[in-house]
């Protein structure tokens, strides 16, 4: 049985988010390993391609046509954000741009929706594996017709853990390397696969036991946070405080491993 909801507002939004994520995903699939026009943004290693922009334009236009009253925060700047709107869509049109630009097969579309500031709908679509992770508040997290549950691992020494590095890593001292060192030395394995949204979905899907990263953005985490929460996982900042929807410090785990994960992480600048 796939994800359903009896809330008619959320059912409409879920259907739209699924359709837009799959349409954007098919652009990514078609353009994968083709010649791309690539530019840089905040740093020489922070890339944006024509495909990021085409996917965002498709998603934003689709929302504006169907739901002109909703606010949209989208990474490449096509949306109109407004804190006062009842619904707010938070979009990463292509999470994993570096991978996409190099032909490394790990990237996705991420769409999260808030109702009055509360995360309510999430869709993350991996177009190459054709995996659509999704969640509705109170209705669980799903992959196809499988309801997702985090792992039950209790020993950090048996944990598979993922992380990532911000685009200012060449020049910032707050670079995640001390935490990375600690986890390499204590967990069973560590991965840096290059898509924060998929990393969160993989915690939800019990493919990872934990994931952390700093200096993310709202579009990296809006969908993934709800998917982890609905799969029974935990998300906090690096001190165990509430999840930061801006993504500045993200520690996520199956729950039993959370204290052990936090113990490995070096808190950044307050
Ligand atoms: C990036 C990816 C990556 C993470 C970076 C993000 P982008 O997003 O999620 O895994 O380490 O911090 O900015 O730029 O590919 O959308
Ligand atoms: Ca991203
Ligand atoms: Ca992106």
Instruction: Note the ligand closest to the C-alpha atom of 94.
Output: 3
Within 174-250, residue ranges assigned H as helices are 177-184, 196-204, 218-230
Confidence (pLDDT) at 235: 98
Confidence (pLDDT) at 268: 61
The single residue listed with the structure tokens 């991420």 is 110
DSSP characters for 27-41?
A: HHHHHTTS---EEES
| Alpha-carbon gap, residue 130 to 144, rounded angstroms | 10
Ligand 1 atom at minimum distance from 163 CA: 11
Mutate to test the pocket of ligand 1, among 110, 163, 176, 216 (most ligand atoms within 8 A of CB): 216
* C-alpha of residue 6 to centroid of ligand 1, in Å: 34
Tens digits of per-residue pLDDT, 181-227?
999 999 999 999 999 999 999 999 999 999 999 999 999 999 999 99
* C-alpha of residue 54 to centroid of ligand 2, in Å: 15
Contact 251, 265 (CB under 8 A): yes
* C-alpha of residue 196 to centroid of ligand 3, in Å: 10
The percentage of residues in the chain with a pLDDT greater than 90, rounded to a whole number, is 95
Query: 269 pLDDT exceeds 90?
Result: no
Reading the block at residue 54, the tokens are 């085409």
Ligand 1 atom at minimum distance from 96 CA: 15
Mutate to test the pocket of ligand 1, among 220, 223, 248, 250 (most ligand atoms within 8 A of CB): 220
Contact 161, 209 (CB under 8 A): yes
The residues lining ligand 1, judged by C-beta closer than 6 Å to any ligand atom, are 92, 95-98, 164-166, 194-196, 213, 216, 220
Confidence (pLDDT) at 266: 80
Q: What is the CATH number of domain 8-147?
A: 3.30.540.10
Query: 118 pLDDT exceeds 80?
Result: yes
Ligand 1 atom at minimum distance from 217 CA: 13
Tens digits of per-residue pLDDT, 1-54?
788 999 999 999 999 999 999 999 999 999 999 999 999 999 999 999 999 999
Confidence (pLDDT) at 72: 97
Confidence (pLDDT) at 270: 46
Could you say which DSSP state residue 252 is in?
E
Ligand 1 atom at minimum distance from 107 CA: 15
The per-residue pLDDT of the chain, averaged, comes to 96
> Can you give the residue ranges of every domain in the chain?
8-147, 156-264
Q: What is the CATH number of domain 156-264?
A: 3.40.190.80
């Amino acid at each position: 049985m796939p994800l359903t909801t009896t809330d008619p507002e959320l059912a409409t939004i879920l259907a739209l988010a699924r359709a837009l994520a799959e349409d954007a995903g098919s652009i990514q699939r078609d353009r994968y390993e083709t010649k791309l026009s690539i530019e840089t943004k905040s740093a020489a290693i922070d890339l944006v391609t024509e495909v990021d922009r085409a996917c965002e334009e498709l998603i934003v236009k689709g929302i504006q046509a169907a739901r002109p009253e909703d606010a949209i925060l989208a990474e490449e700047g096509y949306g109109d954000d407004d804190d006062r709107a009842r619904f707010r869509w938070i979009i990463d049109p292509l999470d994993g741009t570096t991978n996409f630009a190099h032909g490394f097969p790990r990237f996705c579309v991420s769409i999260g929706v808030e109702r009055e500031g509360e995360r309510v709908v999430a869709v993350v679509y991996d177009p190459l594996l054709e995996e659509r992770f999704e969640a509705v508040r109170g209705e669980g997290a799903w992959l196809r017709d499988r309801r997702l549950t985090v792992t039950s691992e209790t020993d950090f020494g048996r944990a598979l853990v993922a992380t990532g590095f911000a685009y200012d890593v060449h020049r910032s001292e707050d670079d995640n390397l001390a935490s990375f060192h600690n986890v390499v030395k204590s967990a069973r394995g560590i991965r840096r696969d290059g898509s924060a949204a998929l990393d969160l979905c993989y915690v939800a899907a019990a493919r990872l036991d934990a994931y952390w990263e700093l200096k993310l953005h709202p579009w990296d985490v809006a969908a993934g946070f709800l998917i982890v929460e609905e799969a029974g996982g935990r998300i906090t900042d690096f001190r165990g405080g509430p999840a930061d929807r801006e993504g500045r410090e993200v520690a996520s785990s199956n729950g039993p491993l959370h204290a052990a994960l936090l113990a490995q992480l070096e808190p950044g600048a307050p």
